[in-house]
Every structure is written in C-alpha cells, then in structure tokens.
Structure 1
Amino acid sequence: MVDAGDSLALTYILSDECHRLGKALVSASVLGLSGYAGVFCGGGPSYRAVFPEMPRRAGSCAQSGVLGSAVGVLGTLQAHLTLAQVLGLDPPVLGRLVTVDLARLRFGGFSFSPVAEPPEP
C-alpha cells in the first residue's frame, strides 16, 4: 500500500489496516523543506508502533505550505522504496525510515525494527 494522502490521521488508519492484513505500507510526508519516507507493517513495525501518539495538531501541505521540489524528492524516494519492497531488493527496506532536510541538504535515517506493537486502537 502506498500512502499518498495529505493527512496524518489517514496514515494512522492505513497503517492500522495494513498491520491487520500483514501488508507493507510505504509512507512519505513532506512539510516545507523537510520530510521522511519509510516502510511499515508487512512483517515490520506499524506506523503506530514507531509513532504511538498522533500529535493533537498536525500541519498539512494545504495548511502549512510545501516547496514543490521537496515533494518531488520525497515522492521519488517513496517510489523507490515501493519498488525495492515489491522487488525484494537487498538490503530490505522494511523497518527503515529516511529523513530529508532540503534546507540544510541533509539526509539521514534509522531502522526501527523491532518495536513492540501497541494494543489495537
């Protein structure tokens, strides 16, 4: 499943459903000049396991703004992660999160396996 929505609430809903079905979720988010892309569920931790609490207030591109080139970078990264997951490329991308800060031209990331799953929402 590819999360292409502009809503953090939708990301949690998709993650809960993918976790229930055992399917991978490739999620990306961008706001302003920074964002992330990662692969959740499908045998790895869910989005909710990695980020247990949804922020009370979360901005969206429509509300807070975003630079088109940042969307392009994160969208391309999300497409790559999707293909890598589908093709089973090595090393696996499941359980990995890539962070991007285009204001400072920095890329980072981390692995989040294993993380305990929270109780069903």
Structure 2
Amino acid sequence: MVDLDPEQLDRYSRHVIMDDVGPSGQAALLDASVLVVGAGGLGSPVLQYLAAAGIGRLGIVDDDVVERSNLQRQVLHTDDDVGRPKVDSASEFVADRNPDVTVDAYETRLTRDNAEEVIADYDLVVDASDNFGTRYLVNDACTLAGTPVSHGAIYRFEGQVTTFSGEGPCYRCLFPSAPPEGAVPDCATAGVLGVLPGTIGCFQATEVVKWFLDEGESLDGRLLVYDASEMSVDEVPIAPNPDCPVCGSDPALSSVTEAEYDGRCSLSESVSD
C-alpha cells in the first residue's frame, strides 16, 4: 500500500477510488515535477489543474507582469495583481490551492543561455508560451534532453495541442521554421476568445496527468486542432522527419546555445554543417 497520509487520502479521494489511478497513481503524481513555461492564458488552467491534481513540484517561468487586459483570459490573476510579476501571483495561487505542491518561480525569460539548465531539473515541460522563439527553444532543448513536452497554442477562435515524447517526432517535424514576421499577429493585435485558452490548457493538463499515470493514449504523433467557433475538433498526423535537424537520424544541433531563436528560428541559418 502506497503511503498517503489521511489528508491526502481525503484530498485525492476521487483519484484514489479510480482503478486507473488508485493510491499508486496518485503517488506517481506527487512524485512528478513539471516546468510550465508561461503563466498567462494557457499557463493559468494548466497550473490550476496540475496543482489540484497533486503534481508534487511545479516550476513556473515568466518574466512578465500582470496587466488589466490579461484578466479576460488569464484566470490565475486578479485585479489586485495588476502590476505584480505573474510568477508571484501564480505561485501564490498554487500554494493556496495545494500545500502538497512545491513551487519554483523563475522570474525570467527562457533563453538559449538558461533553457538547458532549467529544463534539466524537471520530468516534463508544458509549453504555454505565446511566441515562436520560445516554442522552438523549448522544443529543441527538450528534444536534446529527451524530455517530453505538452505543447499548446491559441489564435482568435482556434487552438492546437499535442504532446512530444522527447524522442521524435518534434515540433520542427511539424513546423520546420516559424512563419515570416507579421504573418501571424499576436493576441494583442488579433485578439483571442477569452475562454479558448481554458479549453486548450485543460487538454494540456490532461495530457500531463495521463503521462505520469501511464494511462490511455497520448497525443504524441497527433496534432489536435480545435475550432471554438464551429465547435469542431480535427486531428493532423505528425510524421517523423528523418532529416529533422533536432530529432532526425543525423541531427545538426547538439546544444541550443548553437542556435538563434529570433526571426524564423531556422536552424539552417544558425547551425553550420
């Protein structure tokens, strides 16, 4: 019998009574560590549900402060948090939600100089970022380390989510390089439906919990595309690219410090043969 104390048996009782989870599954969640990159729209539901589920250690990376325009979708934060670092209000929420969870706050931007060191301390990474540079950086660092990634992205009424196992295929197999600058406006320019990140973030949190429970089928190798306007969900298969410079048979990249993560994030422009 896994040793859960009486308060934990009470807190996680709806997990413990499930044959698919049980005490051993809950213990696996309590033993897990997850790094969440971004404490905004996607990071909010991810952190809420991972904390509630009892993921034992959560890292939060974000260098931004709360703005009032964030509150329409970033439900971790309140009006009283305007002007505060997002990692502070997010960490406070997690601590209040579940005393079983240890929180590591990184009030910084993930860069090629710190990404490998930060990611090395965690079992899994959630990409809840809002820019292509960070997405490619997370992908490359995690693929090189063999660390799984839960990826999510949102745009107006549309969202996408998948899981990368860390062994390929990876994000670069799906999108070898970022679109040209200005081709995809950010949410400050194009807007975003406030409830959309809640849906996509919950998909991501679900994938994370399933991963540590080793239960069900993950989205590894599949991109789930959700259209809130039409209330439709489609799947796009993600095929491994044998020529991928990160996860292919002859990878060109051995460290993210060798690459550039601005512009189109194309490795052919930053990694010599």
- Counterpart-to-counterpart distance in 2, 1:94 and 1:32: 25
Q: What letter is aligned with 2:196?
A: A
TM-superposed deviation, 1:55: 0.4
**Does 1:5 find its partner at 2:129?**
yes
Unaligned runs of 5+ in 2: 1-124, 246-252, 254-266, 268-273
The one of 203, 218, 228 aligned to 1:102: 228
TM-score normalised over the length of structure 1: 0.89
Match of 2:139 in 1: 15
Specify the SS of the correspondent of 1:114.
coil
Q: Which segment drifts farther, 56-65 or 23-32?
A: 56-65
- Counterpart-to-counterpart distance in 1, 2:243 and 2:170: 7
Q: Which segment drifts farther, 104-113 or 45-54?
A: 104-113
CA offsets 1:20-77 (integer angstroms, 9 cap, x no match): 1011111100110001001124123110121102101232223321011111111111
Number of corresponding residues: 121
Q: Is the 8 A contact 1:97 1:112 kept in 2?
A: yes
Q: Is the 8 A contact 1:39 1:94 kept in 2?
A: yes
- Counterpart-to-counterpart distance in 1, 2:187 and 2:209: 25
Unaligned runs of 5+ in 1: none
Higher strand share: 1
The alignment's C-alpha RMSD in Å is: 1.6
- Counterpart-to-counterpart distance in 1, 2:216 and 2:165: 18
Q: What letter is aligned with 1:19?
A: T
Q: How many percent identity over aligned positions?
A: 29
Q: Aligned pair in 2 of structure 1 residues 87, 44: CA closer, same or farther (>3 Å)? A: farther
Q: Aligned pair in 2 of structure 1 residues 76, 62: CA closer, same or farther (>3 Å)? A: same
TM-superposed deviation, 1:13: 0.6
Match of 1:60 in 2: 186
TM-score normalised over the length of structure 2: 0.42
